[in-house]
A and B are shown apart, each in its own frame.
Chain A
Amino acid sequence: MSTILTLPDQATARLPKVSYLNKEYGLKSWLLTGDHKRIAMLYFISITFFFFIGGAMAGLIRLELLTPPSDLLAADTYNKVFTAHGIIMVFLFLVPSVPATIGNFLIPIMVGAKDLAFPKINLLSWYLYVAAGTMMISVLAFGGVDTGWTFTTPLSTHYLNTHVISAGIAVFIAGFSSIFTGLNFIVTIHRMRAPGMTWFRLPLFVWSHYAASILMVLGTPVLAITLVLVILERTIGIGVFDPTKGGDPLLFQHLFWFYSHPAVYIMILPGMGVISEVISTFSRKRVFGYTAVAFSSVAIAVFGFFVWAHHMFIMGISNYSALVFSLLTMLVAVPSAIKIFNWSATLYKGSITFETPMLYAFGFIGLFTIGGLTGVFLGSMGMDIHLTETYFIVAHFHFVMVGGMLMAYLSGVHFWWPKITGRMYPEGVSKLAAVITFVGFVLTFFPQFILGYLGMPRRYAAYPPEFQVLNVFSSAGASVLGVGYLLPLLYLTWSLKYGKIAGANPWQATGLEWQIQSPPLTENFVDTPIVTHEAYDYEWLESKKGSEVPTVG
């Protein structure tokens, strides 16, 4: 199979003498850095850590569900484990995954800036993340919390004696970390674009991060307020959600989902940005219908704010408001469909190669399409009654979040790995990992759709024995999936020392980040770049290559 990979001659190639990695040495130079790339690295290490903690929790869940009775874990332990899995994966992995690592690294470079607008706030954001993570780990160490990641009242406020308040504060702090990242991106994208970098010359990665940032900045405060209300209700009993004091527990649902539905788009939009970059690069073509893809991100962000009550169709909201929310849910599905078709059409008349990032991107397209279409099942009100709160929901959001977002994340990590570290990951084993991940994923989560229609409720430590066969499939898939996620951890670490030297532009891609050295200088650019070409202009790249002396290595 051919490849576009153009590496410098490994016999003579050297990593650049000076880069952001070796400009300064010492722990202090990392912990007090203002450099967006170093902060991205800090984030990269911390979210990987939490991903594997959350993944271990998922492993425990699947092991427990191998047999119908709750024999491996007692019911309360199981509840704590799935709560920890949910909170860690949502707030400490998925929300910061692409934006805080790849986004942090690339947004300033892609717009042609030296750093983000507020480097110190960026560092503060990481420290808040670490504070939140430490707090969450200590919650686990001191006995855990069993609210579910949704903190549903009155369960969380009146009926549990676990560490609800500490977990709530941890999520509250993690929320501010996310707000600061979003704020930084919005200001940077508005104010710090290089000369000639107009809005419609921005890579789609930047557009999708812009849309996600709006959601972070406008949505997360609502979550913060909700958690504060839960904590106040639990400590001093203010009664906002307590029906015996005239409060309304449904109000909590409204507030919580007002953030937590847009949060889904906070998680997936940056992933969509990665897919746009990868598909375009490996088919050597501009993304089909650039404007449509850019605006569909914004449309998702806008509509995403007005669909939250589709989580509450069975909760006794008025039938007519359910009608409105169902309609809007169908509308928000359309921009996602547009993106999928535009990516597919980008391949048309391209010159396609199949490096690892592209394989992950194909995985994304397939799994996200299933995840999106099953979302239509759930947006369809009458169908939602039977499917909600069952394994169908679990399967649906794992297809979107894991099949979609995690595939996109891994695609992006592989794609920009040469830029971030200056070295290539090993191509053969990484392709294998991509295939293993895909197979393991489908085996894990597809049976859960069937389980869901059979009616198996989610968050059950024990289940009726007739559901066992499908659960065994799912647990078997999870072990395959585990291998698929451990492999990149191993070979990417290996490649830090033994990977081939990548050179500035191993993929022959057009983005500004590929026109500078790998790994980049602390200040990114030697001179402020002047942008004269559209995004994904491969003809411009050809002419540029023709006119310059190759100085790779």
Chain B
Amino acid sequence: MHFISPVLWQFLIKWLTYFAIFPPEASSIAPYADALYFFLIAISVVGLGAVALLVVTFSIRYRQEANPTPTPIEGSTLLEATWTIIPLILFMICFVWGALLYFRIYSPPTNAMNIYVVGKQWMWKVEHPGGQHEINALHIPINKPIQITLISQDVFHSFSIPAFRVKREAIPGRYNTEWFEATKVGTYHLFCTQYCGTLHSQMIGEVVAMTPEDYEAWAAASTSGNSLAQNGERLFASLGCNSCHNSGPNAHGPNLANVYGSHLQLKNGSFVTVDDAFLRDTILNPTMHEVAGYAPIMPTYQGQVSEEGLIDLVEYMRQLNSQYRIDQTIDNSAAQSIQTGATPPGTSAPALAPGAVKP
């Protein structure tokens, strides 16, 4: 396998891809997946070979002409134990190997660059944090771990890049993640592999893996001018989020600076880590997780914010280190209401949400 002899491995992969019976191996994970694939093929060939050998040999040796009288045999516990235990051991190896690979594929490194992808009928919308928006294309630098945060705005889709050996389902209402590190410059297929309606087969795009320099150039040339976080900030203000989530003395909601990644205590006493999914849930369905110390007065934003808008908001909160900007952009009505003292008494907004414990 590739960790035994990289040179021989390259020969093998080149040869297989030459005959177009093997996909390009273009991510850091691909050789690991292929190694397991070859192992599985090997045990399949051995297993099938063993069965074929038994059936063919017996069919020839014990055909009626050669062996007119059968010998009654009940069975053999020893033999049966053998062909129970040997497959069991082989299958357990496949299990452990597959599990290791699975955890490797689905555990992103902490330094991964995050890119958001929204699936809809029938296109992939890619949102780079720097404000580059793409449809049915994904530009990435090689040799850098990329994490895809994936969601669907309608039905199930599946984000599959065969050359990278990764795939993850895009599910409505739920962030899924996958990660990969491209190793070869090139253009690769991007497929939707989950049946998603009429034009399922046209929900395909391409992944363009570029050298880091080319990627920098592409990113600079393709930016829309506003980063996702900047879009999120505008949205935050226009939805009026800052009328409660500010650091004023009478703020109704928690201060959101540094809330991303913190551990919050909920009303029921349990703790949650604030991540993308938590933020999304609390915007759309505020009563789903009731944070200790706050009245459940936040209205739902279900139907008012698109999936891209939610991503902007999440990205904004992810980078929010201080409340200064929020307080700066606080809208006039909120400012007036604070001046006239119209807010209910008894609410306070400490610098950090009371349930929030910095890790």
The residues of A with any CB-CB pair to B shorter than 8 Å are: 2-4, 70, 75-76, 79, 146, 148, 150, 152, 154-155, 158-160, 243-244, 246, 248-250, 283-286, 288-292, 313-316, 319, 322-323, 326-327, 330-331, 333-334, 337-338, 340-342, 344-345, 347-354, 362, 365-366, 369-370, 373-374, 376-377, 379-386, 388-390, 450, 453-455, 457-464, 466, 469, 538-539
Contact check: which of B62, B87, B107 meets A347 at CB < 8 Å?
B62
- The chain B residue sitting closest to A376, CB to CB, is B94
19 CB contacts below 8 A, A to B, read: A155-B195, A160-B197, A243-B172, A244-B302, A286-B72, A314-B158, A330-B94, A366-B52, A379-B91, A380-B95, A382-B99, A382-B102, A382-B105, A390-B160, A450-B21, A454-B162, A459-B195, A459-B201, A462-B201
A351-B69 in contact (CB<8A) = yes
Complex Cα gap A75–B196 (Å):
12
Contact check: which of A79, A366, A370, A457 meets B192 at CB < 8 Å?
A457
Chain B residues, Cβ within 8 Å of A386: 33, 37, 162, 165-167
The residues of B with any CB-CB pair to A shorter than 8 Å are: 20-23, 32-33, 36-37, 40, 43-44, 47-48, 51-52, 54-55, 58-59, 62-65, 67-76, 79-80, 83-84, 87-88, 91-92, 94-95, 97-107, 121, 154-156, 158, 160, 162-163, 165-169, 171-174, 176, 189, 191-202, 204, 284-285, 288, 302-303
Chain A residues, Cβ within 8 Å of B43: 373, 376
Contact check: which of B65, B104, B121, B156 meets A2 at CB < 8 Å?
B65
Q: A152-B195, A315-B169 are in contact. List 10 more A-B contacts (CB 8 A).
A: A3-B64, A75-B199, A146-B198, A152-B156, A285-B73, A319-B107, A353-B63, A453-B23, A454-B22, A466-B20
Given contacts A389-B160, A454-B23, A455-B191, contact A334 B198 (CB under 8 A): no
B70-A288 in contact (CB<8A) = no
Chain A residues, Cβ within 8 Å of B162: 386, 390, 454-455
Chain A residues, Cβ within 8 Å of B54: 341, 344-345, 347-348
Given contacts A383-B37, A389-B194, contact A369 B47 (CB under 8 A): yes
Contact check: which of B40, B171, B288, B302 meets A383 at CB < 8 Å?
B40
B193-A458 in contact (CB<8A) = yes
Residue of B37, B102, B154 contacting most chain A CB atoms (<10 Å) = B102
Complex Cα gap A341–B81 (Å):
11
Chain B residues, Cβ within 8 Å of A249: 156, 171-173
Complex Cα gap A383–B30 (Å):
10
Chain B interface helix/strand/loop/mixed = mixed
Contact check: which of B40, B58, B70 meets A377 at CB < 8 Å?
B40
Chain B residues, Cβ within 8 Å of A159: 121, 154-155, 197
Given contacts A75-B198, A313-B102, A316-B176, contact A352 B166 (CB under 8 A): no
A453-B22 in contact (CB<8A) = yes
Complex Cα gap A334–B158 (Å):
31
Complex Cα gap A75–B37 (Å):
33
Contact check: which of B36, B64, B97, B191 meets A457 at CB < 8 Å?
B191
Given contacts A148-B195, A243-B173, A383-B37, contact A70 B201 (CB under 8 A): yes
A389-B158 in contact (CB<8A) = yes
Contact check: which of A333, A389, A538 meets B193 at CB < 8 Å?
A389
Given contacts A349-B67, A383-B33, contact A316 B158 (CB under 8 A): no
A352-B59 in contact (CB<8A) = yes
Contact check: which of B102, B155, B189 meets A152 at CB < 8 Å?
B155
3 nearest interchain CB pairs?
A382-B101, A455-B162, A243-B173
Complex Cα gap A291–B81 (Å):
13
Complex Cα gap A9–B113 (Å):
82
Chain B residues, Cβ within 8 Å of A286: 72-74
Contact check: which of A76, A362, A383, A460 meets B55 at CB < 8 Å?
A362
A385-B48 in contact (CB<8A) = no
Complex Cα gap A539–B76 (Å):
20
Given contacts A291-B75, A330-B92, A365-B51, contact A381 B101 (CB under 8 A): yes
- The chain B residue sitting closest to A82, CB to CB, is B195
CB distance from A308 to the nearest CB of B (A): 16
B47-A373 in contact (CB<8A) = yes
A338-B80 in contact (CB<8A) = yes
Chain A residues, Cβ within 8 Å of B37: 377, 383, 386, 453
Chain B residues, Cβ within 8 Å of A338: 80, 83-84, 87
Chain B residues, Cβ within 8 Å of A469: 20
Chain B residues, Cβ within 8 Å of A152: 155-156, 194-195
Complex Cα gap A350–B194 (Å):
49
CB distance from A313 to the nearest CB of B (A): 7
Chain A residues, Cβ within 8 Å of B48: 366, 369-370, 373
- The chain A residue sitting closest to B30, CB to CB, is A386
Complex Cα gap A455–B22 (Å):
9
Contact check: which of B20, B67, B196, B202 meets A155 at CB < 8 Å?
B196
Complex Cα gap A395–B169 (Å):
21
A382-B58 in contact (CB<8A) = no
Complex Cα gap A337–B88 (Å):
9
Chain B residues, Cβ within 8 Å of A464: 189, 204
Chain A residues, Cβ within 8 Å of B204: 464
A315-B171 in contact (CB<8A) = yes
Chain A residues, Cβ within 8 Å of B197: 79, 146, 155, 159-160
